[in-house]
Structure 1
Amino acid sequence: MKTQQRIFGAHESAAGGVARAVERIRAAGGDALQLFTRNQRQWEAPPVSPGEAQAFARALEDWGPHPVASHASYLINLAAPGEELSARSTAALAAELERCRALGIGLVVLHPGARTGSGTEEALDRAAASLDAALEAADGEGPLVLLENTAGQGSTLGGDLGELGAIIERSRHAHRLGLCFDTCHAFAAGHDVRSPQGLDAALARLDASRLRLVHVNDSKGALGSRLDRHEHIGQGAIGQGGFAAVVNHPLLAGLPMILETHKEKDLEEDRMNLAALRALVAPGRREPKRS
């Protein structure tokens, strides 16, 4: 029987420069990386310098041919009803796409935004329109934007998994859009991913052909709690059995699985969580050889 790779990695800090994030994932023993290419708490960021891009490229070459994704700023709200926030969000996403193009990063994870007092259908329309505007402002082909499901807290879109597909359907640039599935967010939004059957039901709400990345986070909150709080693998409400279902699910095979759990500077928590995920891979599955 043909086996498929399980690719495990983590979100790492880019403090000191984006090349340092590559150094950190290598030190943690991961095979995939997610990072912020800029300070995600600020709207403005300088463009990528030639030296920064060269250092990042050298670090990636030394690490090996592993998947890399950027996570767009949490400030971005493409569904915002106010013109000022909408314009700033569109510009910030366009700038992130340009930064990733300069760095050679092919995936950008994005939260779909929040209704902020407006109706859902209007918010979906705005999110798609702003997304299109950002893609067009960042002229030319570039990174694939991955819409991420949310915990459904407050007025955020994406707790209902079908809303991600609705945004893509409204977009003029659907070929540049994909999906990122977050286990904690799905569970907190009421999708019980703790069994293969529950995970099947959640994934059936998505266009599986668009899945490109998985965020593997346990949940501090209970099922349906709408609490976006990540926990270490096996130490939350999803538990080890739930992650055994996730890492061995055939629709997720071969996709980068990225941790977004808390870690100290020594990265010991990342090593612990990566080991926990690898231990859950069923016999007959395989992982890529780690550098």
Structure 2
Amino acid sequence: MELGAHLSISGGVDKALDRAEELEINTLQIFVKNPRGWTGKELTTKIANLFKEKSKAMNLASSVVHANYLSNLATPKNELYKKSKESLKEDIRRADCLGVNYVVFHPGNHTGSGIEAGIERVNKALKEIIKDLNPKAKLLLENVSGAGTEVGFNFEDLLAMTAGIPLDRVGVCLDTCHAFAAGYDLRSKDGFDRLLTEIDDTFGLDHLKVIHVNDSKRELGTNKDRHYHIGQGKIGSEGFARLVNHPQLKEKVFIIETPIDENGDDKLNLKTLRDLAE
């Protein structure tokens, strides 16, 4: 089982690996620049090599970069569209320098242009980015909660964003909180099976590479993205037990993005998932 957490890169990206060792995890997710800004500190060859050396020394099974939150590939606004493409390109360049396996990103918001127009914009951007960079990391579209004008809260729409792109270059990242917020009832076996069937019928489960394991602070179908501690939210322990023990998911990369507050931290949430795994 590949189980990890989204970790801080405070002090340098290699410091996230030290934190991973402390948590005794074999995978991790990081930002490679400011997630709420367009620029970041220079990633030197020395630091990139140190990251790769540490990853190898600790037998890290895989690693994930989460792209900048500001990027919006679905936008109809040309200036933001251009900045978003350049930002994602920079995240990919850095991921490839670090030898990271996957780059996860949110598709964005159509802001009134309509879902189809938003999907088309994302598709066009991805084709351009892949042509320009030929990335080593696989690019993963993350499902969203469906708030406002977000695109990509179902897997049919996410697949449409990859039209004309080989699925060895792109895939999908499932966020459990987002799926629950979008109306997928992960509390029940039927709801869980419906979700997996939809992913299998679109991308194929082989192209589901990363699962963001987050409980939800809000109720089913509210379109509210509010991550919570595993088993303490509205999805509950039974849903996560089904997730981590599913025979077709056991080899996936599980990453927690849960809060750190008075009710829990990474250690607690990782222990909860390990205890649920049979």
Q: Give me the whole-angstrom Cα distance separating, in 1, the residues matched to 2:60 and 2:121.
A: 37
Alignment root-mean-square deviation, CA: 1.4
Q: Give me the whole-angstrom Cα distance separating, in 2, the residues matched to 1:241 and 1:187.
A: 14
Partner of 2:124: 129
Partner of 1:10: 5
Counterpart of 2:272, as a letter, is A
**Pairing of 1:263-282 with structure 2 (within 5 A):** 263=260, 269-282=265-278
The question of 1:184 aligning with 2:181 is answered no
Partner of 2:192: 199
**Pairing of 1:135-214 with structure 2 (within 5 A):** 135-138=130-133, 140-168=134-162, 170-206=163-199, 207=203, 208-214=205-211
Residues 64 and 104, structure 2, Cα contact 8 Å, conserved in 1? yes
Alpha-carbon offset, residue 249 of structure 1? 1.6
Stretches of structure 1 lacking an aligned partner (at least 5 in a row): 1-5, 283-291
Q: Give me the whole-angstrom Cα distance separating, in 1, the residues matched to 2:167 and 2:226.
A: 30
Instruction: Give secondary structure in 1 for the equivalent of 2:25.
Output: coil
Partner of 1:285: none
Q: Give me the whole-angstrom Cα distance separating, in 2, the residues matched to 1:242 and 1:172.
A: 33
Q: Please point out which of 49, 72, 77 is paired with 1:77.
A: 72
Partner of 2:213: 216
Identity across the alignment (%): 39
Q: Give me the whole-angstrom Cα distance separating, in 2, the residues matched to 1:54 and 1:281.
A: 34
State the aligned residue count. Answer: 272
Alpha-carbon offset, residue 134 of structure 1? 1.9
Q: Deviations over 1:206-241 (max 9, x none)?
A: 222210010000000100011101000000000001
- The ranges of structure 1 where at least 4 consecutive aligned residues each deviate by more than 3 angstroms after the TM superposition are 171-174
Residues 112 and 147, structure 1, Cα contact 8 Å, conserved in 2? yes
Stretches of structure 2 lacking an aligned partner (at least 5 in a row): none
* Structure-2-length-normalised TM-score: 0.94
Q: Give me the whole-angstrom Cα distance separating, in 1, the residues matched to 2:190 and 2:26.
A: 28
Q: Give me the whole-angstrom Cα distance separating, in 1, the residues matched to 2:72 and 2:177.
A: 21
Q: Give me the whole-angstrom Cα distance separating, in 2, the residues matched to 1:172 and 1:178.
A: 10
Q: Deviations over 1:86-140 (max 9, x none)?
A: 00011111111111111111200011111111111111111110112222232x3
Q: Deviations over 1:133-174 (max 9, x none)?
A: 222232x34210000001111111121222111111x24354
Instruction: Give secondary structure in 1 for the equivalent of 2:14.
Output: helix
Counterpart of 2:229, as a letter, is H
Instruction: Give secondary structure in 2 for the equivalent of 1:215.
Output: strand
Q: Deviations over 1:54-102 (max 9, x none)?
A: 2212221232132100000011111110100000011111111111111
Instruction: Give secondary structure in 2 for the equivalent of 1:246.
Output: helix
Residue range with higher mean Cα deviation, 269-278 or 159-168: 159-168
Alpha-carbon offset, residue 47 of structure 1? 4.5
**Pairing of 1:27-176 with structure 2 (within 5 A):** 27-138=22-133, 140-168=134-162, 170-176=163-169
Alpha-carbon offset, residue 32 of structure 1? 1.2
Q: Give me the whole-angstrom Cα distance separating, in 1, the residues matched to 2:167 and 2:37.
A: 28
- Which structure has more relative contact order (CA 8 Å, sep 6+)? It is 1
